[in-house]
Amino acid sequence: MHIIAIGLNYRTTPVEIREKFAFQESELPQALQQLRQTKSILECTIISTCNRTEVYVVADQLHTGRYYTKAFLAEWFKMDLDDINPYLNIWENDHAIEHLFRVTAGLDSMILGETQILGQIRDGFLLAQEENATGTIFNQLFKQAVTLAKRAHSETQINDNPVSVSYAAVELGKKIFGDFHEKCVLIVGAGKMSELTAKHLHANGSNTITVINRTESKAEELAERFSGTARPFNELEDALVQADILISSTGAREYVITASMMKSVLKKRKGRPIFMVDIAVPRDLDPALAEFDDVYLYDIDDLEGIVEANLAERKNEAEKISLMIEKDLVDFKQWLATLGVVPLISALRSKALGI
């Protein structure tokens, strides 16, 4: 029995590659079923966020577990295995367990110590559990990872200045505009990232927030929470004409705002600049928008500079959490040893080979 984690993240893979490996939320149940039925895979969980796509598996053998997990990713995203290999990170056994603990606690996030990933790991695990893709090992491991992360955040001061990617987007806007008072803010998308962005904008003085989403009821719900206005998706171009700031975070596969759309919008804006932040993966905004004189376009990778400014204050607290992770790694290995799983599987394999 071996625990393997395979994936890519913002540290080593640019957004234009990451967006090609992003699982749609609606696809995850099918993906989990397909991976669970793959040769050598005994348990599995998939974590897919704007900054990382990672697959965690329990496999009967290391080499086959590695190979078939990578083959699953290549098949799912319709790419050649040789083309994706250079981007994939692989963690095995103790390193995989430690990596999961670090990711869940926010120590591997773009913004050190952020808590959004904790909810994403928990949701990913619960979905895998619901799809019967987990078993004894992952049921214990992921519950322990979530419990450890909650304890790390409550027992240290790593969250004294709570931040996230959405917070970084708002901070970037403040550097350009000074404040958001009397600025017209347009949020495209009504998911968790959009909600966090709206929360930070509202807290920083924005009193004119418009929300657009393909499902209008969700836009209305989010807008009402922050005293904003919801508009139907077919009014996107009109909303862009009025906006000073756009923050986009949808789950769309294609660009939501294209260069041709923006060209039409800019004619009506009469030279007024617009600040656009794309925090979606895959990207919502056509990169060609940056070529327009009055458009100031930033994507999720551009936020890294703001992220860096927060690291120094959090690194000391992160060291404390690293010590907690070391102890939990030992605890998990001791629990694992009590199961007798390793000798049992070894015996079954020997028996199978002898038939």
The candidate with the shortest Cα–Cα distance to 109, out of 295, 258, 290, 310, is 310
Q: What is the pLDDT of residue 351?
A: 44
Do 73 and 179 belong to one domain? Answer: no
CATH of the domain at 239: 3.40.50.720
In angstroms, rounded to a whole number, what is the distance separating the alpha carbons of residues 299 and 319?
A: 30
Tell me if 18 is assigned to some domain.
Answer: yes
Amino acid at 224: E
Tokens of 94: 């103790």
Q: What is the DSSP letter of 20?
A: G
- Mind telling me the catalytic residues? 50
Cis peptide upstream of residue 282 (ω within 30 degrees of 0): yes
Q: ∠ CA(319), CA(321), CA(325), 5° rounding? A: 115
Do 155 and 177 belong to one domain? Answer: no
Do 255 and 341 belong to one domain? Answer: no
Do 30 and 154 belong to one domain? Answer: yes
List, as one string, the DSSP characters of 284-299: SB-GGGGGSTTEEEEE
Do 341 and 296 belong to one domain? Answer: no
Write the CB contacts of 210 (distance below 8 Å, at least 6 apart in sequence): 184, 185, 186, 187, 223, 228, 229, 230, 231, 239, 242, 243
In angstroms, rounded to a whole number, what is the distance separating the alpha carbons of residues 199 and 194?
A: 9
Q: What is the pLDDT of residue 45?
A: 98
Helix axes 192-203, 165-177, angle to 10 degrees: 40
Q: What is the pLDDT of residue 347?
A: 56
Do 293 and 332 belong to one domain? Answer: no
User: How many structural domains are present in the chain?
Assistant: 2
In angstroms, rounded to a whole number, what is the distance separating the alpha carbons of residues 297 and 292?
A: 9
The candidate with the shortest Cα–Cα distance to 50, out of 130, 126, 111, is 111
Residue 280's domain comprises 165-303
Q: What is the pLDDT of residue 339?
A: 82
Location of structure tokens 């041709």 = 260
Q: Are 54 and 47 in contact (CB under 8 A)?
A: yes
Q: What is the pLDDT of residue 205?
A: 86
In angstroms, rounded to a whole number, what is the distance separating the alpha carbons of residues 204 and 342?
A: 54
Burial of 191 (0-12, 13-18, 19+ CB in 10 A): middle
Do 248 and 319 belong to one domain? Answer: no
Q: What is the pLDDT of residue 230?
A: 96
Do 10 and 150 belong to one domain? Answer: yes
Location of structure tokens 């958001």 = 180
CA distances from 254 to 105, 185, 198, 285, 321 (A): 32, 23, 23, 9, 39
Tell me if 252 is assigned to some domain.
Answer: yes
Tell me if 123 is assigned to some domain.
Answer: yes
Per-residue pLDDT of the chain (355 residues; tens, 9 = 90+): 899 999 999 998 999 999 999 999 999 999 999 999 999 999 999 999 989 999 999 999 999 999 999 999 999 999 999 999 999 999 999 999 999 999 999 999 988 888 889 999 999 999 999 999 999 999 999 999 999 999 999 999 887 765 677 778 888 888 888 888 888 999 999 988 888 888 888 888 888 899 999 999 999 999 998 889 999 999 999 999 999 999 999 999 999 999 999 999 999 998 999 999 999 989 999 999 999 999 999 998 888 777 677 777 788 899 999 999 999 999 999 999 888 655 555 655 664 555 5
Do 43 and 96 belong to one domain? Answer: yes
Q: What are phi and psi of 278, to 5 degrees?
A: -105, 105
First to last CA, the chain: 21
Location of structure tokens 């990596």 = 99
Dihedral sign for Cα 123, 128, 131, 137, please: negative
Tell me if 308 is assigned to some domain.
Answer: no
Write the CB contacts of 231 (distance below 8 Å, at least 6 apart in sequence): 210, 211, 212, 219, 238, 239
Do 18 and 87 belong to one domain? Answer: yes
CATH of the domain at 134: 3.30.460.30
Tell me if 188 is assigned to some domain.
Answer: yes
Do 173 and 268 belong to one domain? Answer: yes
Q: What is the pLDDT of residue 131?
A: 96
Do 9 and 153 belong to one domain? Answer: yes
